[in-house]
A = this chain, B = another copy of it.
Amino acid sequence: MEALVAIMTRKSVREFGYKPMPDDALKKLLAAGMQAPTARNGQPWHFVVVSDREMLLRIPEFSPYTKMVAEASAGILVCGDTQNERSREYVVQDCAAATENILLAAHAMGMGGVWTGVYPDEKKMEGFRKLLGIPAHIAPVSFAVIGFPKAIGRAEMRYNGERVHRGKW
């Protein structure tokens, strides 16, 4: 799939037909995530891959908009190391860029997914910390739920000229 097409046609996928995550696809998703730019090249991230069904089904208990995990192939918790000195206050943005790369890569490979927000919601962060044994200095930032789309939906075009300011606001 052409890159601009992938960017323009990616949309959030919340309905999956369950198939296991192929190992090579997972590696490509993670490599895509780690290829995102980071502040001072700090690469402050960690990725926790959850594919065990029992574990996945516990996530909606503390993060209510994740019920689609039931038929997903995997969830990837993108976390930032808050002790990374180079990235410091940019950890969350670095993790967000990585998340977008993962979602684009999934779409380009015929999979799909949805970004579910975690940081800065304390309840969700704590839920992931407990469930997955995340250390205190690691901030769970986003949880990307990835799977095989039940249907191919059409992306809404969101370009809005009113949000563009030329030269000045």
Which chain A residues have a beta carbon within 8 Å of chain B's beta carbons?
A: 1-8, 10, 12, 27-28, 30-32, 34-37, 39, 43, 45-52, 55, 89-90, 92-97, 99-101, 103-105, 107-109, 114-115, 117, 119-121, 132-135, 138, 141-142, 155, 157-160, 163-169
Question: Assembly of this chain: how many copies?
Answer: 2
Main secondary structure of the interface of A (DSSP, over half): mixed
Contacts of A96 in B (CB 8 A): 92-94, 96-97, 100
A35-B47 contact, Cβ under 8 Å, with A3-B5, A101-B100: no
A133-B169 contact, Cβ under 8 Å, with A35-B158, A96-B93, A115-B37: yes
A132-B2 contact, Cβ under 8 Å, with A34-B163, A90-B117, A142-B93: no
13 examples of A-B residue contacts, CB within 8 angstroms: A3-B105, A3-B107, A7-B101, A30-B159, A31-B159, A34-B158, A34-B159, A37-B114, A46-B165, A48-B169, A92-B93, A96-B96, A133-B169
> Which of A51, A101, A114 has most chain B Cβ within 10 Å?
A101
* Other 7 A-B pairs with CB < 8 A, given A34-B158, A132-B165: A7-B35, A36-B100, A89-B120, A92-B96, A93-B93, A93-B96, A132-B169
Contacts of A49 in B (CB 8 A): 164-167
Inter-chain CA distance A45–B6, complex, in Å, is: 21
The chain B residue sitting closest to A166, CB to CB, is B49
> Which of A39, A99, A119, A163 has most chain B Cβ within 10 Å?
A163
